[in-house]
Structure formats: structure tokens, C-alpha cells
A and B are shown apart, each in its own frame.
Chain A
Amino acid sequence: MTEHLHHILLVEDDPADIFLAQEIFKEHGGFSMNVVTSGTEALDLLRRKGKFKHVERPKLVLLDLNIPGLDGREVLREIKSSDDLRSTIVIVMSTSDAPTDIHTSYMLGANCFVTKPVGIDGFERLVDAIEKFWFEFVKLPFD
């Protein structure tokens, strides 16, 4: 059944949010999720550099805006301005709904911006929606 898993990448530095996402995606099933905690690692994984050489290329990235070091905005800018990465779906996730964060994300080419849901029910609905929309309705430009 492994060939049916949706490969995604979570870029998140908050251990609690990582735990939450792992639990909810695991309970939901159908996904295979890699987790990195910094922007540099995110780009390395997407380009399958170094220790990520054998990692399956994710079709979709869940990107937290506020990560240390190379922050989410820089990662987004790099993905969307690189020919090799541009087609990757990037969902920006933030605790904030600050208009500037939303605006910046779309200007940098985010596929969409979501505020991190409050409550595990909300998170489950989001995972359902991601699967339905991005993996059922949408045609992605991958093999």
C-alpha cells in the first residue's frame, strides 16, 4: 500500500505542534510525513541533499512562518523562485492571522495560507480538507 501514501513535509520548530501534526496525520492515515525544524533543512530535504538523499520528494509542504534561522518567508521565497522547486505545493501555517503575514505569504507565492486550527477537531478537519482538495480534486504536476 506504500505507493498510495501522500508524501508531505512539515517545517515546524515547536515540538508541541510537531507532536500534534504527527498524531493527527497518523490517525488519519494515507500520508507519509517528514518533519524538519529549520528552513535550511527544509531546502536540503526538498533538493535531497546530504542526509536526505534517499528521501521521497514531498508533493506538499506545510510551512510554519516563524521558524528560527532561515525563516519561513525565506524558505517560501526560495521554493517559489527556484525552477526545480516551484511546483511544490506550499501551505503556509501560522498561529497568527496578521494581515501582513497573509499578504506577504501570497506575494511570495504561497498556494494558500491557513491559521493553525485551535483544538484537535479543527486540525482533523484541516487534514481531511487537505487530502480531499490537494490529493483528490487537484491535478498535481508530478509523476
Chain B
Amino acid sequence: MEEHEKLERTKAELDELAYVVSHDLRAPLRTILHNLQFLQRRCGDQLDTENANHLERALEATEKSHHMLDDLLVYSRLKTRARPHELVDCGELVGRALRELSELLARSGGEVTCGELPQVLADRQQLQLLFKHLIQNGLRYGGGERPQITISCERRGDNFRIAVQDNGPGFPGNDPERAIRMFASLHDPEERQGTGMGLPICRSIAEVHGGSLAIANLEEGGACVCVTLPVPTDEALTKAEPPRVRIIQSSRDSSS
């Protein structure tokens, strides 16, 4: 029991650390960003190509650090700031995630096929974030010219198993699990888009909901992320938050 308490305290301290770090590092990072932007705006045209590149790289790195801190903050809040679970429709959340990603979707020329998805008990915002990250990963790293992403679900006992597959090269290396480690993708010199926090955030969301997340490379090619979420029990349903009043979907939304 004592060991358990110690562990809980350590976890709480770690969450607190991530929260404080991501908060307090923001201010100096904003200052760096703003001053670089002033420099670029006011003397950008006086710089030769090489020095303009130095400035551009410093700006890119600063913006990336900012996104990393944002994600670190999201991650640190997942366990400490969870809202009460309500019955949510995963299909609807995928639809919302797709609308948030519409620009990337158009730019990548990708296509997302979504099978029938279940209703689960969840923190609506967190679960939408999970779908957003998984689809975003598929669009970024999936098959080159035309990423194809397939989302499907099957029931296995007391769990729903939701799979998000793409047609890309799969996770690099022999150990796909490595990709779930925090900031793992940042060690990849080819990797310039992500913050290295997407999959750790998704796994944490799945775990907060009593589920799990696993990744694998498919034999036929492509990467697959499998999220399991518990099938809501009758008991849990009666205890859950009643669904909030929602605006009736317009015909534009009905595709989700």
C-alpha cells in the first residue's frame, strides 16, 4: 500500500513537472520568436541568402519548440484534467477531426474511408484529439502521393478494437513500439513535421479511457494503429453524464 502511494505521488509530481515546464518555458520562447520575427520583418531584405537561411532555421526551430510545448501541456493535462465521460459516437468524432484536418487532407490528396464506428463512454474532446492525431499521422506519413486511410472497428469480447491503417511505408525500424516513445520521431533526421508527441498522447488517451493502444506494420504494407476501448456496460451507462443538447446536424455534416 505504501509503495502504491509513493508511486501515485511520483506520478502526480511528474504531471506537475510537465505542466510547469510547458507553462514557464512558453514565456522566454515567445520572446525569442517575437524578436526573430521583428528581425526578419525589419531587416530580412538586407540579409544575404546564407544569413536569411540562418534566421529562417532559427524561426522554424522556435516554432517547433512551441508546438512541442503545446503538446507536452496537452499530454500533462490528459490525466489531471479529464472531464466526466459521456456517451459519444466515434463516427461523429472522426467527422469532426476530418473537418479540422480539411486543409491537410486537401494538400495531401489523401482519402479516408471510415467503417461503422461504435458509441463509447469518453471525454469527447480527448477522443476527438486521438482520432485527429491518428488520421493526421496517416496523411503525413502514409503512401506518398495518395495516402489511403482506413478506419474500421470490430468487437472483441468486452472491447471495441478500432484500427486506423494507412498505405505508407510503415513505422521505421524493427521495433515499431519505439515510435510511441515521447519525442521518438525527433531522432529521425527526415522527420520535420511532427512534435514527437502524437502517439504518446493517443496512448495516454486510450489508457485514461480504460483501453490501450498498439501499433504494428502490416504484412501487406502500411502502418496500423489499434485502439481498444471498453464496450460501455449498462451500469456505466446509467452513471454516465447525460448527453448534452447538440445542434441537429446539417446535411453537410451527415457524411460523418
Contacts and interface: CB of A to CB of B under 8 A. Distances in A.
Given A14-B27, A95-B26, A119 B38 contact: no
Given A95-B23, A96-B23, A120 B38 contact: yes
Contacts of A121: 37
Contacts of B30: 16-17, 95, 116, 118
Contacts, number: 32
Given A116-B30, A118-B33, A120-B34, A99 B81 contact: yes
A123 B34 CA distance: 10
Interface centre among A14, A23, A120, by most chain B C-beta atoms within 10 angstroms, is A120
A69 B39 CA distance: 33
Interface residues of A, number: 15
B246 interface: no
Interface residues of B, number: 13
A23 B38 contact: yes
A120 B27 contact: no
Contacts of B33: 118-119
A96 B26 CA distance: 9
Interface string A89-110: 0000001101100000000000
A140 B35 CA distance: 35
Contacts of A96: 23
Given A16-B34, A116-B30, 16 more contacts: A14-B31, A16-B31, A16-B35, A17-B27, A17-B31, A20-B34, A23-B38, A95-B23, A95-B26, A95-B30, A99-B81, A118-B33, A118-B66, A120-B34, A120-B37, A120-B38
